[in-house]
Amino acid sequence: SIPREYGGPQVSFATLAEVFAIISAADPALGQIPQNHFGILHLLQGTATERQKEQLFQSVLDGWRIGNGGPERGTKNTLELKARLTAQGDGYVVSGQKFYSTGALFAHWVAIKALNDDGKQVMAFVRRGT
Predicted confidence band of residue 25 (pLDDT cuts 50, 70, 90): very high
Domain boundaries, the chain: 4-127
> Rounded to whole angstroms, what are the CA distances from 44 to 22, 88, 130?
25, 25, 22
The more confidently predicted of residues 27 and 99 is 27
Q: pLDDT tens digit string along 52-77?
A: 999 999 999 999 999 998 888 888 88
Instruction: Classify domain 4-127 by CATH number.
Output: 2.40.110
d(CA 84, CA 114): 5
